[in-house]
Amino acid sequence: MTRYELIDQFFAQSIYNPRWMRSSAGTRYVNGAGGSNSPDFYKAYLNPEIIFPDEAVQIIVKNNLGFNRGETKMLYNDNWVSAHNGGSEQPYLYDDGTHGDNIAGDGLYTNNCMVLSRVPNFFNKPHQFNGDVHILDPKLNH
């Protein structure tokens, strides 16, 4: 059983504290590499967790193995593109105090304007899950 009082005590403002993540970024969805909820190569926090295909999300990644230690940016997966300034760029996340990253060099890589690189086929279903977020069929957006 999770004891949140201990998490709050020892990880008050930490990416490992889900209540702090929710209060600071509104993020509720936590997923490890490959869709696992257990610690893996990285943890990705997406806000919001349910979107229509044309909506942007904020993605924050904590690299648990430190592969990018000292690097100011890392490439995320090809389900996404960065949409800053109305353009379409490679899906980089930044740890340099830009693109929604609060503190440079803290090991949290962020991009606050990521959009889907392609619209999924919904196969007459109301939503699809791409391993990161739930995507609602645009027909539901009246």
**Tens-place pLDDT, residues 71-90:** 888 888 888 999 877 778 88
| pTM for the structure as a whole | 0.68
More confident position, 141 or 3: 141
Amino acid present at 105: G
Q: How many CB atoms within 10 Å of residue 5?
A: 8
Instruction: Print burial letters for 54-92: b (CB count within 10 Å at least 16), e (below 16).
Output: eebbbbbbbbeeeebeeeebbebeebbbbbbeeeeeebb
Q: Report pLDDT for 30.
A: 39
> Where residue 1 falls among pLDDT bands split at 50, 70, 90?
very low
**Tens-place pLDDT, residues 17-64:** 555 545 544 433 334 434 444 444 567 889 999 999 999 999 998 876
Nearest to 43 by CA among 105, 97, 93, 104: 93
**Tens-place pLDDT, residues 79-129:** 899 987 777 888 999 999 999 999 998 888 999 999 999 989 999 888 898
Q: How would DSSP label each residue in the chain?
A: ---HHHHHHHSTTSTT-HHHHHHHH---EEEEGGG-SS--SEEEEEESSEE-TT--EEEEEEETT-TTTT-SEEE--TTEEE-GGG--B--EEE-SS-TT-SSTTSSEEEEEEEEESSPPP-TT-SEEE-SS-EEE-GGG--
Alpha-carbon gap, residue 110 to 69, rounded angstroms:
15
